């Protein structure tokens, strides 16, 4: 009797796990299928340039960094929010590149939007738990992602 019960609990558990995996694969597929045009359309509109957007991301990472240093959770959360909730620039970001580079730059925009958001979320979560060392490790990885994209693209701006 007890055995039967634990087997059904086990089956329920496996069922729940498989459901959640299904969902995450689906999410992944929709994320991968998203186009750069859809990404831009999903953001709030603004009248700023791509450079001005970059300066907002910069302010966000400075706040994240300082918040971790002085152990101010709210400062970290608000800094991460600047990265997570930024608006789209007034013109499509890929127009800063030459025509032949635009498709590839769109791929970077899509990929790095996810990468930056994931780090910003993780940093906020770790700070909420006062795991300052882990928050700091993640903030270095965040900054490194910015720099990787810069090393690939800044010299190609027309
Ligand atoms: C998708 C690639 C990409 C990612 C990711 C990225 N950047 Fe940039 N960034 C650029 C490009 C391209 C420029 C040059 C823009 C220009 O000259 O018009 C730039 C420029 C900048 C500038 C200089 C702006 C100015 O006024 O000259 C800053 C500051 C900056 N980025 C900060 C960041 C920070 C902080 C992050 C990460 C949180 C980040 N960027 C992530 C592509 C990226």
Give 145 Cα–ligand 1 centroid separation in angstroms: 11
Indicate if the pLDDT at residue 10 is higher than 60.
no
Rounded (10°) angle between helices 50-69 and 99-128: 20
Give the integer Cα–Cα distance in Å for 61 and 67. Answer: 10
Protein residue with its CA nearest to atom 11 in ligand 1? 154
Indicate if the pLDDT at residue 38 is higher than 80.
yes
Closest CA to 153 of 85, 98, 88: 98
Give the integer Cα–Cα distance in Å for 65 and 67. Answer: 5
- Cβ burial 78-95 (10 Å sphere, 16+ → b, else e): ebbebbeebebbeeebbe
Closest CA to 92 of 132, 63, 49, 124: 49
What's the rounded mean pLDDT across residues 35-56?
97
- Of ligand 1's atoms, which has the minimum distance to the CA of residue 52? 26
Give the per-residue pLDDT at 15. 52
For ligand 1, is residue 88 a contact (CB within 6 Å)? no
Q: Coil, strand or helix: which one is 157?
A: strand
Give 70 Cα–ligand 1 centroid separation in angstroms: 26
Give the per-residue pLDDT at 25. 46
Residue 1: C-alpha distances to residues 7, 11, 13, 141 (Å)? 10, 15, 18, 51
Which pLDDT tens digit goes with each residue over 122-157? Answer: 999 999 999 999 999 999 999 999 999 999 999 999
């Amino acid at each position: 009797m007890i055995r039967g019960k634990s087997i059904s609990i086990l089956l329920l558990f496996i069922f729940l796990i498989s459901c959640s995996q299904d969902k995450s694969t689906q999410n992944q597929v929709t994320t991968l299928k998203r186009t750069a045009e859809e990404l831009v359309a999903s953001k709030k509109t603004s009248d700023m340039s791509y450079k001005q957007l970059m300066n907002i991301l910069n302010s966000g990472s400075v706040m994240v960094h300082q918040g971790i240093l002085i152990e101010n959770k709210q400062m970290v959360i608000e800094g991460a929010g600047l990265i997570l909730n930024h608006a789209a620039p007034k013109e499509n970001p890929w127009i800063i590149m030459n025509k032949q580079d635009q498709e590839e730059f769109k791929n970077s925009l899509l990929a790095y939007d996810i990468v930056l958001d994931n780090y910003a979320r993780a940093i906020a979560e770790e700070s909420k738990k006062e795991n300052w060392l882990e928050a700091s490790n993640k903030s270095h990885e965040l900054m490194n992602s910015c720099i990787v994209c810069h090393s690939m693209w800044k010299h190609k701006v027309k």
